[in-house]
Structure 1
C-alpha cells in the first residue's frame, strides 16, 4: 500500500510540473486548449478556438477562459493541437495557422501567421474594473462590422447595435493579413472597435470584467470568411424555394384577392415561389395603438378568417401551384390575457415599461410560444417574417431559436427560413435572411441596397435581401423595373410595399414594365442552379454568394470600396442600372470579360459607358467561368426535361461545382447531395465532368447542353463525361 501511495504521489508531482512552468516573471498553466500566463498581477489566457482561431482572454475576477456566447458555434468541437512557446519573457502557443505570444515583462501581446510573419506587434490591454480595453496598431484597410457605422465597405469603427435594417458586428478583416472578433460578458452589450482618433491605433472596448478577442491570420477575404464560419457557425441553406422570387405586400384584402393575384402570376407567366403576408393574415388591425395591458380579443396566433377562412385547405391549394406561405411575426403580444400571462411569468424584456416585447432568451417563454404557434405550422405555414425585433441585440437570435425548435418538433428535418430586419453573429446557423429595412421608394435608396447587402456579406450574413421597389412610397415604373433587375442578383429576391401604395405585382405596371420584370424574373430562375450551388459553397467554405469585387481583385484600388457592381460567385459580374435614364459607367477589372447577352468580348481594365433600354440588364462573365443555366420555370420545384445548359467562357481554364439535393431537408449536412465538378481545359477546348454523392432524386438534371459561343453539344451526364469543341 505504501508503494502505491508513493507512486501516486510521484505521478501527481510529475503532472503538476508538466502543467506549470515558473519563472521570476511569469507562471504558465496549461489547459486543453491553451495556456494561462501570469504577467504582473494580470492573468491572460492564450487559447485556440474552433480549429482556426486564437483567443486572447482577459478576466478581472477569475481565471480567464472562453466566455459562453451565442455568437460562437457550440457545434464546432474541433480541438486544435498546439505547442507551448517558453522563451522568457516571451510565452505563447503555436499552431499550424500561426502563433499568439505575450511578453510578460512589457505585457505586450503579438500575433504571427503560419509563415512567421508578424501581424500584430504591439497589442496591449487595460482594465477599469467595469470595462476592458485592448489596443494595437492596425494599419491597412478594414472591412466587415455591418452597415451601421458606415455603408461604405471600408471601415474605421464598429457600432455593435441593431436597428431597422442596420447592424453593427464586433468584427473586422484587415488586409494586412488577419481578422478579429470580440466577445464581451453580455451578448446584448457587444464589444466595439474604433480607429477614428488615430488611423493607425485601433481600440477594442468590452463592457464588464471579462473579454475575449478572437484572432486568426487571414491573407484574403476568403480566408477571413472561412475563419469566421469556423468560429461563429456555417450558414445553413434555406429551402431551395427561398432562392426563387418572393412576393410580399402590406394590404392583402381577402381570400378572393389572394387567389386572383396567384392566378395572374401563373397565367401571366411571372415566376414566383412565395407569397408573404403582413398583419392582415392573423389580425384585423395592426397592434400599434394597443396599450401596454393589451387588447381583449386581439388575435396573435390565429388566421384572420377574412383572408383564410379555411387556412389548411387554402395553403395546400397555394402549394399545389408552387406557392409557399410566409407570415409576418412581431416580437410582442397584443392580446390582453396573453400579456397578463407573460407579465406574471417574467417573459417580457422589461415589465416596468410600456413595452409588450417578449424576452425570447427565456426557455419558459419559448416553450409557451411553441404551443401557440404549432397549429399554424401544422396548417401549412412554411416560414416566418420576423419584424421589429431590435429591442435587444440578440432578440433575433433567440426568436429564431424558438421558431427553429418549433419547426423541428412540428415538421422534422424541414429547413428553417426566416426574413429578419437585422442579425447578430451566429444567426446564420439557422438558415436566416436579413432585409435592409423599411427603405424609401427612391433612386438613392436603390443605390444604397447593394451597399447594405455587400456589407452583410462581409459580416457573416449570407442571405441579404431588400424591399424591391422600396417600402415607403410608390416608385416610378422605371425605378421598379431597375430594382427588379438589381434584385435578381441578390441572394434573396423579395419585393414589398407599404399599405396604401401600389403593390409590386408586375402586372400592375403596364405591358412594358411587366415584360421587363418578367425578363428579370426569368433570368433569376435560369440562374438558380448557379446561385443555389453558391449557397452550398457558402455552407462548405464561408465564401459569400454576393461578393464585392475587392474579394477577387484585392490589388485593384479602383474596386476597394466599389458597391454599384458586384459578383455572384467568382465569375458573374452584375452591374445593374441604379439611376434614372438607363445610362451608367461600368468598370471591368483586369481580365477578359464577356457580355452575357451578346457574347461580346471586353478586355479589362476598362470603363465602358452603357445606355440600356428598360428591359436590358448589364451582366458580364469572366473568362474561365463555367455557368450552369437552367430552363425558364414558374417556381423552383417545377421540374423540366429541358437540358441544363453549361455555358463556357473561354480564355483560361476553369471549374465549377454544381450541387443538387432535395431542396427541403438537412440531409445535405450528411453529404446526401449530388455534386458535379465541371472542368474546362482551355488549351484542348475540352469540358469534362465528374459526379459524386449519393443523392438521386427526380429533380436532378440528367442531360446537359454544353455551350461554347455558337457551338452546342447535348449529352447525358452519367457519372462522368467529356465534350470536345473545335479549336
Structure 2
C-alpha cells in the first residue's frame, strides 16, 4: 500500500478532493501504474472544508456546515491551519504559512450534507483510489450547533464515529469492501476498521507510550490497530527505528510514516537487513495473523492482547504493560529502551523461545540483554503455528502448502480462513506425539515437529487408512522433524520414540 498525505490536494484547500495538477499532472496514469505493480493507493482526508476552497461557498449556500449559536458558520483554526508545512522546525504558522487555511466542519447529522460528503469521494474512488486515511474529526467546539439540535459538547465523541461511518460506507459501496485508516473514534469504532495511533514523537518514551496505547485500545474493543513505525515527529535514530519496526511488524497492520524519511534503506545496510528479516517473518506468519483476525471479528478480542486480557487470573500481569500476546500463541516483548535491556514475564506453563527453542517454566521473570537484531518472542508449549513460505505478496487463493510448526505439548487449534475452518490437535505422551488434521478443503501440508530429534518411528493415516511412509518426504533437521504431506483433508500422524 502506498499512501499520500495532504500533498495530493492543492495547498490550503483541504479537503475538497481535487488533485494538485502541478504535483500530479497525470494522476490517473500514476494510479494505473501503481495497480500494475500490484500496489494499492491510500489518500489522506478530513471532514472539514477550507475557507479558501471553492467548496466552501457551495457548502455555505446549501447550509451544510456546523453553526455557531448565532447561526453563522463555525470556522475554526485547528492543527493544520496553525502549523506550517513540515520543514523540520516546530513553530506556529504565520497567516499565509499554514498547512491549511481555517476550515468549516461538515454537519454529518444533516442527512443531505452526509450524502454530499460521500459524493465528494466517489469520483476519486472510481479513478482507482483504494482507501482513505480519515484524519482529524475531533475538532468540535463545545458551543457548536448541529442540525440534529445537539451541541458540540454532546457531539464531540459522536462526530468522529459518524465521520468514519460515512467514509467506510462509501468505500464499501464503490469498492465492494469496507475499510478506513482512522485516528479519532468512539465506542463503536470497531465497526469501521482500521485505527492508527496518531502522530507520536520519534523518541524512546513515545515508543513505550505507543505500545501502552495500542494495548489500551485493544482492551477498549478495537481489534485492529497500528501506528507510525519510527514515530511521526522528528527523525528516529537507526536503533529506535529498528526497535519500533520490530514492534510494528507484530501488530495487526504495519505502516512506515513520518514527517521525515521512513524507508528502511535510508538507515543503512544493517537496519535494512534486520528490517527485511522481520518483514519476511511477518509474511510467513500471515496464515496465523489472518486466522487471528477472523477470530477477532467473532470474539472481539484484539490481535495484540494486553497481558491482563490474556491472563486475567494472573495478578502478576497487571503491571506488564509493555509486552503482549500476538494472537493466542505468541508472547512478544518489544525492546523500548536504548540500553538493549528489558524484563519479560512468562505466565504459568511451559514457554519456548521462538528463535533458540530454549524452554522456560513459568511463572518467571527473565532479565534479558537483547541484541539489535533480536525481538524477544516466546511461544506456548503445545502450540500449532500456521505459516507459509516466504513471499513478496499475500496470496489471493488458498495457501498451499500450509506450513505448521508444532511444539511439544497438548493443544488444539481452530484455523480460520476464507475457505473454511480446519481443526488441528496435538497429543504428547512419554513415548509418542500424535497430530490430527480435520479440514474442509484439501491441500498439502509441511509439518515441522519442533524439538523432535530423537530416534523415532512414524505412522501416517489418511482418511482412516494407513499409508506407506515412502509416499511422504521425511527429513530430520537439527531442530525439528519435517514431514511433507500430499493433498488431503484428514490425517493422523503418530511419531513413536524408541
Q: TM-score, normalised by structure 1?
A: 0.55
| Residue 438 of structure 2 is aligned to residue 690 of structure 1 | yes
Question: RCO greater where, 1 or 2, for CA within 8 Å and sep 6 or more?
Answer: 1
CA distance in 2, matches of 1:479, 1:605: 30
Match of 1:702 among 430, 438, 443: 443
Match of 1:675 among 413, 418, 421: 421
CA distance in 1, matches of 2:15, 2:303: 39
Q: For residue 457 of structure 1, what is the aligned residue in structure 2?
A: 218
CA distance in 2, matches of 1:645, 1:354: 57
Match of 1:497 among 258, 271, 274: 258
Q: For residue 193 of structure 1, what is the aligned residue in structure 2?
A: none
Match of 1:341 among 41, 58, 65: 58
1:723 and 1:322, CA in 2 relative to 1: closer, same or farther beyond 3 A? Answer: farther
Residues 185-243 of structure 1: CA distance to partner in whole angstroms, max 9, x if unpaired? xxxxxxxxxxxxxxxxxxxxxxxxxxxxxxxxxxxxxxxxxxxxxxxxxxxxxxxxxxx
1:308 and 1:452, CA in 2 relative to 1: closer, same or farther beyond 3 A? Answer: same
Residues 640-693 of structure 1: CA distance to partner in whole angstroms, max 9, x if unpaired? 987321011212x212222222xxxxxxxxxxx42211111223512212223x
Q: How does 1:106-121 map to 2 (within 5 A)?
A: none
Match of 1:419 among 174, 178, 181: 181
Q: How does 1:145-544 map to 2 (within 5 A)?
A: 274-283=1-10, 285=11, 287=12, 300-334=16-50, 335-350=52-67, 351-355=72-76, 356-391=104-139, 392-411=156-175, 414-430=176-192, 432-498=193-259, 501=260, 503-544=261-302
Q: CA deviation at 1:585?
A: 1.6
Native 8 Å contact 2:306 2:324 kept in 1? yes
Q: CA deviation at 1:568?
A: 1.5
1:337 and 1:567, CA in 2 relative to 1: closer, same or farther beyond 3 A? Answer: same
Q: CA deviation at 1:306?
A: 4.2
Q: How does 1:36-47 map to 2 (within 5 A)?
A: none
CA distance in 1, matches of 2:398, 2:280: 14
Q: CA deviation at 1:717?
A: 4.7
CA distance in 2, matches of 1:625, 1:489: 18
CA distance in 1, matches of 2:173, 2:365: 54
Q: CA deviation at 1:316?
A: 2.8
Residues 148-168 of structure 1: CA distance to partner in whole angstroms, max 9, x if unpaired? xxxxxxxxxxxxxxxxxxxxx
1:520 and 1:354, CA in 2 relative to 1: closer, same or farther beyond 3 A? Answer: same
1:279 and 1:535, CA in 2 relative to 1: closer, same or farther beyond 3 A? Answer: same
1:336 and 1:488, CA in 2 relative to 1: closer, same or farther beyond 3 A? Answer: closer
Residues 568-625 of structure 1: CA distance to partner in whole angstroms, max 9, x if unpaired? 1221000121111322221111110011011111111112222222211110001121
- 3-state DSSP of counterpart to 1:395: helix
Higher gyration radius (CA) = 1
Native 8 Å contact 2:232 2:258 kept in 1? yes
Q: For residue 590 of structure 1, what is the aligned residue in structure 2?
A: 348
- 3-state DSSP of counterpart to 1:309: coil
Bigger CA drift: 518-527 or 346-355? 346-355
Match of 1:658 among 415, 419, 444: 415
CA distance in 2, matches of 1:571, 1:342: 51
CA distance in 1, matches of 2:334, 2:41: 30
CA distance in 2, matches of 1:541, 1:299: 36
Residues 477-533 of structure 1: CA distance to partner in whole angstroms, max 9, x if unpaired? 0000000001111122112101xx2x1101111000111111121111111111111
The unaligned stretches of length 5 or more in structure 2 are: 77-103, 140-155, 451-479
Residues 238-291 of structure 1: CA distance to partner in whole angstroms, max 9, x if unpaired? xxxxxxxxxxxxxxxxxxxxxxxxxxxxxxxxxxxx1111011122x2x3xxxx
Native 8 Å contact 1:322 1:638 kept in 2? no
CA distance in 2, matches of 1:375, 1:725: 60
1:717 and 1:686, CA in 2 relative to 1: closer, same or farther beyond 3 A? Answer: farther
CA distance in 2, matches of 1:463, 1:384: 16
> RMSD across aligned C-alpha pairs, in angstroms?
2.1
Q: CA deviation at 1:470?
A: 0.7
CA distance in 1, matches of 2:420, 2:23: 41
Number of matched pairs:
418
- 3-state DSSP of counterpart to 1:702: strand
1:554 and 1:517, CA in 2 relative to 1: closer, same or farther beyond 3 A? Answer: same
Q: For residue 462 of structure 2, what is the aligned residue in structure 1?
A: none
Q: For residue 716 of structure 1, what is the aligned residue in structure 2?
A: 486
CA distance in 1, matches of 2:423, 2:35: 33
Q: For residue 495 of structure 2, what is the aligned residue in structure 1?
A: 725
Q: For residue 307 of structure 2, what is the aligned residue in structure 1?
A: 549
CA distance in 1, matches of 2:368, 2:224: 29
Q: TM-score, normalised by structure 2?
A: 0.79
- 3-state DSSP of counterpart to 1:686: strand
Q: CA deviation at 1:706?
A: 0.9
Q: CA deviation at 1:404?
A: 2.7
Q: For residue 91 of structure 1, what is the aligned residue in structure 2?
A: none
CA distance in 2, matches of 1:712, 1:529: 19
| Residue 386 of structure 2 is aligned to residue 628 of structure 1 | yes
1:419 and 1:595, CA in 2 relative to 1: closer, same or farther beyond 3 A? Answer: same
Q: CA deviation at 1:366?
A: 2.1
1:487 and 1:726, CA in 2 relative to 1: closer, same or farther beyond 3 A? Answer: farther
